[in-house]
Amino acid sequence: MKMGTALVYDEEMTKYKLLWVDPACKIEVPERLTVSHEALVKAGLADRCVAVPVREATDADILLVHSEEYLEAVKKTPYMTLEDLKEFTLQYGDVYFHPNIYHCAKLAAGAALQLVDSVVTGKVRNGMALVRPPGHHSMRSAANGFCVFNNVAIAAQYAKQKYGMKRVLIVDWDVHHGQGVQSCFEDDPNVLYFSWHRYEHQRFWPQLRDSDYDCVGKEKGAGFNINVPWNKVGMKNGDYLSVFCHVLLPIAYEFSPDLVLVCAGFDSAIGDPEGEMCASPDIFAHLTHLLMNLAGGKVCAVLEGGYNLTSLHQSVCQTVQTLLGDPAPRPADLDGPCTSALESLHCVRSAHRQYWSCLKHAAELPSSEISTKCIKLEEEEEEKQQHQKKEEEEKEAWPEPLKRLTPPVRTAVVLPDGVVCPDGCERFSPSEDLNILNKVRENFLKGPDDSDALTTLSSLTALVEKMEKNEICNGLALVRDVSTARMCVVQHAATAHRNRVLMVCVGDAVVPSPGTDDGKTLLVQFSNTESEEQKGKFHIPVCLKKGCSDVSGFTLAVLGLLLPLGYEYDPSLVLLVRTPGSGLCDAAWQQLTGLLQGLAQGHTLVLMQEGEKACVGPTASSLLGVAAPSLGKLPAPLPEDVQALERLRHRLQADWKLLQTTAPETA
Ligand SMILES: NCCCNCCCCCS
Ligand SMILES: [Zn+2]
């Protein structure tokens, strides 16, 4: 299987800097690159990557995006005096030139192209390019916002032209709007550009009307430009995850890209002087993870901004470690999205409702009503926010992300003798542990001599114990009696007081709801039989008209309901149960298995009924971290399924904040 993560870096790109006084540009320093690369080396991550050399972008590469006159003008800068450089710089905004910046800008763009080559030709699965100058602000004929050539825009055009890539997704998680990328592709339906950015109702740089949520693209490109404005600072992990689950991912899966490019700016992390947001560096492990099952895993992250050297290098490490396949850390105490984020979320979903079938149900309010509501709420909360911000400035500090130790065994399997152990997996030997055997015997065995049940259940128990000790990352068991196995695992996990088990059931077996609503388990059950009785907060039946055979409806339920629930519940173990009759295709099942590994530090235990033997291989592949196959362009989900999901979300959002997609009605 195609694994491997490319790292494209060259210290030559540190060899330019600001040569005069300019408060707007002083934060863009060479150390941004050196601290990031040194952190990767120190963390042992650089050595695990495939080092890919940079190259200079050629004129032809650069002319994929920029005009000849602009390129010719920039070509002259290496020979300019300091005065000429200052003069030349004046025609652009918030950017500076240097005798060596043209060379470095060619290397930055060339690095992105080298990364695309390595990923698209299958030399590696994914990768990151550590570059400066950044690119997403530069326009066809103008430098802007520290950017000279638009590295990612050039990479997108290059991928389309050289490799015939049909659909390219660009995710811009930098805290600034990449207006250069937007303007390059706004009429192009083959490039879906997503950006969130500090906006504050157009009061924040670059203060463009075109950065707002209602700029959805032009002509054939209408719907393929997604702007999520942050109208307040202080956005946190929950705000970011909500936008991924309720805006980006549903649309991205419907778009079904052949390649994912990330404008990986880290000025959206806590501590950054530009963003003034409060999301912790480990959130980038989750943002990266959530993209890694798109495009068959072909993800190219290219550094953009990031001006706090500490949060920058921490965020870079979180991103690269996830690209390498290491499980993401559990997201600490997620809050629901704040009111302002909910308004932006609602506005974006409404603006894109007509273009994406996954959003068809998004409630439509006249945008005028929404915008006044936003501003009214703004003023009220503004002063509260202001004095809060003053306090925060003094003590902007955050805990260093926890070391992400990868268990010695990635995937352990419990299989009947006749079933071969999939490549890369480790067959888990039956437990000899007497107290496990006795506990299983007294609690679960029907007949005294049911030896293979005893073997299976004691092996499962021992496997869960090894996952708790982080000796094993995830597991797969093919068992005769899934319901007993399920109870055995849940009961064992419940013994450790702080354990929480997210149980996801796919298929039509009747699943007894967990004993009490004590919250020790959260059961989400996909089926096509409408369950009449009202379930509790911790037992959520998801009914799809055509069951899981409808990939679109299933995907929407996973992205917009299961993932937010899972992140908010923050389980210590994910128990994924598949019983016959689900009708779920392998690719959708693999997407589910892949996505759920973002939870519980990757501790996913898959239980499958013996009849599902054919699914052992594909399941093992996902558990080993191989990207799930692309689902292809998704047809519209059934309207009744979409409405049912919406109703379910509305019913549950009182208990589960990450399910909200609209601001609470104001008085
Ligand atoms: N307070 C300094 C203003 C800087 N404005 C330009 C920011 C460009 C970011 C590129 S990611
Ligand atoms: Zn930025």
Q: What is the DSSP string of 214-250?
A: T----GGGTTSEEEEEE-SS---HHHHHHHIIIIIHH
Pocket test for ligand 1, best of 139, 151, 175, 176 (most atoms within 8 A of CB): 176
Ranking 93-102, 500-509, 567-576 by mean pLDDT, the lowest is 500-509
Compute the distance from residue 133 Cα to the ligand 1 centre, in Å: 12
Instruction: Give how far Cα 394 sits from Cα of 216, 313, 388, 397, Å.
Output: 39, 22, 11, 9
Is 25 a pocket residue for ligand 1 (Cβ < 6 Å)?
Answer: no
Q: Which domain holds residue 76?
A: 5-331
Classify 129 as helix, strand or coil. strand
Nearest CA to ligand 1 atom 2: 24
Helix (H) or strand (E) holding 284: helix 283-291
Name the percent of the chain lying above pLDDT 90: 78
Average pLDDT score over residue span 85-111: 98
Whether the CB-CB separation of 545 and 537 falls below 8 Å is answered with no
Other Cβ atoms within 10 Å of 562 Cβ, number: 22
Q: Tell whether 441 and 324 lie within a shared domain.
A: no
Is 174 a pocket residue for ligand 1 (Cβ < 6 Å)?
Answer: yes
Burial of 650 per CB tally in 10 Å (0-12, 13-18, 19+) = middle
- Is the pLDDT score of 291 beyond 60? yes
| pLDDT, tens digit, 9 for 90 and up, residues 469-506 | 999 999 999 999 999 999 999 988 888 778 899 999 99
Rounded to 10 degrees, the C-alpha dihedral 429/431/432/433 comes to 150
Distance separating alpha carbons of residues 583 and 573, to the nearest angstrom: 25
Atom of ligand 1 nearest to the CA of 175: 11
Residue 288 φ/ψ, nearest 5 degrees: -65, -50
Is 304 a pocket residue for ligand 1 (Cβ < 6 Å)?
Answer: yes
- Is the pLDDT score of 448 beyond 90? no
399 falls within a domain = no
- Closest ligand by atom to 266 CA: 2
Average pLDDT score over residue span 445-468: 86
650 falls within a domain = no
- Closest ligand by atom to 27 CA: 1
Average pLDDT score over residue span 412-438: 89
Sequence-distant (6+) residues with CB within 8 A of 322 are 284, 285, 286, 288, 289, 292, 328
Q: Compare 99 and 531 and report the one with higher pLDDT.
A: 99
pLDDT at 387: 52
Which of 69, 60, 52 lies closest to 157 in space, CA to CA?
60
- Is the pLDDT score of 377 beyond 80? no
Q: Tell whether 318 and 432 lie within a shared domain.
A: no
- Is the pLDDT score of 370 beyond 50? no
pLDDT at 380: 53
- Is the pLDDT score of 379 beyond 80? no
pLDDT at 513: 63
Pocket test for ligand 1, best of 146, 207, 304 (most atoms within 8 A of CB): 146
Q: Tell whether 299 and 447 lie within a shared domain.
A: no
Compute the distance from residue 30 Cα to the ligand 1 centre, in Å: 15
Compute the distance from residue 118 Cα to the ligand 1 centre, in Å: 31
Is 135 a pocket residue for ligand 1 (Cβ < 6 Å)?
Answer: no
Final residue before a domain boundary, out of 331, 360, 391: 331
Compute the distance from residue 145 Cα to the ligand 2 centre, in Å: 8
- Marked catalytic residue, from 66, 137, 352, 361: 137
Is 146 a pocket residue for ligand 1 (Cβ < 6 Å)?
Answer: yes
Compute the distance from residue 166 Cα to the ligand 2 centre, in Å: 28
Nearest CA to ligand 1 atom 3: 24
Average pLDDT score over residue span 9-25: 98
Is 137 a pocket residue for ligand 1 (Cβ < 6 Å)?
Answer: yes
Atom of ligand 1 nearest to the CA of 147: 10
Q: Tell whether 308 and 422 lie within a shared domain.
A: no
Instruction: Give how far Cα 451 sits from Cα of 380, 444, 445, 457, Å.
Output: 68, 12, 9, 10
Domain count, the chain: 2
Is 176 a pocket residue for ligand 1 (Cβ < 6 Å)?
Answer: yes
Is 94 a pocket residue for ligand 1 (Cβ < 6 Å)?
Answer: yes
Q: Tell whether 303 and 435 lie within a shared domain.
A: no
Distance separating alpha carbons of residues 567 and 565, to the nearest angstrom: 6
pLDDT at 431: 72
Average pLDDT score over residue span 515-537: 80
Q: Tell whether 417 and 554 lie within a shared domain.
A: yes
Compute the distance from residue 102 Cα to the ligand 1 centre, in Å: 19
The tokens describing 55, both together, are 């190259």
Q: How confident is the model at residue 534 (pLDDT cuts 50, 70, 90)?
A: low
Pocket test for ligand 1, best of 94, 137, 181, 267 (most atoms within 8 A of CB): 94
- Closest ligand by atom to 274 CA: 1
Other Cβ atoms within 10 Å of 429 Cβ, number: 11
Is 205 a pocket residue for ligand 1 (Cβ < 6 Å)?
Answer: yes
CATH number at residue 581: 3.40.800.20
* Mean pLDDT value across the chain: 92
The tokens describing 496, both together, are 């450790």
Average pLDDT score over residue span 159-163: 98
Nearest CA to ligand 1 atom 7: 145
Nearest CA to ligand 1 atom 9: 145
Nearest CA to ligand 1 atom 4: 24
Distance separating alpha carbons of residues 140 and 131, to the nearest angstrom: 20
Compute the distance from residue 24 Cα to the ligand 1 centre, in Å: 7
pLDDT at 455: 87
pLDDT at 603: 97
DSSP code at position 558: I
Compute the distance from residue 25 Cα to the ligand 1 centre, in Å: 7
First and final CA of the chain: distance in angstroms?
56
Other Cβ atoms within 10 Å of 471 Cβ, number: 13
Atom of ligand 1 nearest to the CA of 174: 11
402 falls within a domain = no
Q: Tell whether 300 and 441 lie within a shared domain.
A: no
- Is the pLDDT score of 393 beyond 90? no
Q: Tell whether 303 and 437 lie within a shared domain.
A: no
Name the amino acid, one letter, at 63.
L
Nearest CA to ligand 1 atom 11: 305
339 falls within a domain = no
- Which residue has tokens 């998004």? 362
Q: How confident is the model at residue 81 (pLDDT cuts 50, 70, 90)?
A: very high
- Is the pLDDT score of 386 beyond 70? no
Ranking 87-96, 195-204, 440-449 by mean pLDDT, the lowest is 440-449
Average pLDDT score over residue span 465-470: 94
362 falls within a domain = no
Q: Tell whether 317 and 445 lie within a shared domain.
A: no
The length of the chain is 667
CA angle 501/504/510 to nearest 5° reads 110
Q: Is 137 a catalytic residue?
A: yes
358 falls within a domain = no
Whether the CB-CB separation of 139 and 248 falls below 8 Å is answered with no
Positive or negative torsion for Cα 46, 51, 56, 58: negative
- Closest ligand by atom to 196 CA: 2
24 falls within a domain = yes
- Closest ligand by atom to 22 CA: 1
Compute the distance from residue 274 Cα to the ligand 1 centre, in Å: 7
Atom of ligand 1 nearest to the CA of 24: 2
Q: Tell whether 316 and 413 lie within a shared domain.
A: no
pLDDT at 369: 45
- Is the pLDDT score of 365 beyond 50? no
Q: Tell whether 183 and 39 lie within a shared domain.
A: yes
Kind of pairing, strands 259-264 and 426-427? Answer: unpaired
Final residue before a domain boundary, out of 268, 301, 331: 331
Average pLDDT score over residue span 112-128: 98
| pLDDT, tens digit, 9 for 90 and up, residues 217-241 | 999 999 999 999 999 999 999 999 9
pLDDT at 376: 47
562 falls within a domain = yes
Q: What share of the chain is helix, strand, coil (3-state, %, to 5)?
A: 45, 15, 45
Final residue before a domain boundary, out of 331, 363, 390: 331
Residue 450 φ/ψ, nearest 5 degrees: -75, 75
Ranking 133-147, 193-207, 294-308, 519-533 by mean pLDDT, the lowest is 519-533
Q: Tell whether 482 and 602 lie within a shared domain.
A: yes
Is 197 a pocket residue for ligand 1 (Cβ < 6 Å)?
Answer: no
Name the amino acid, one letter, at 554.
F
